Amino acid sequence: MKLEQWFSVPIVIDRLIGFENTNNSIKEYILSAEKQHEKENELITQARKKGLFESQWNLFQRNEPSLNKLNELLSEKLILLVSQLNSYDQKIIDTLKIKEQSWFHVTRKGGYFSAHNHPMASWSSVYCVDDGGINDNDDFGVTRFCHPYPQMNCYIDAGNVNLKHPFNSSPLNIKLKTGDLIFFPSFLMHEVSPYMQNGTRITIATNYWIESPLVKIRV
pLDDT above 70 covers a percentage of the chain that reads 97
Residues 92-101 as b/e (b if ≥16 CB within 10 A, e otherwise) read eeeebebebb
CATH of domain 12-149+163-204: 2.60.120.620
pLDDT in tens, 63-97: 999 999 999 999 999 999 999 999 999 999 999 99
pLDDT in tens, 150-174: 898 899 999 999 999 889 999 999 9
pTM strictly above 0.85 = yes
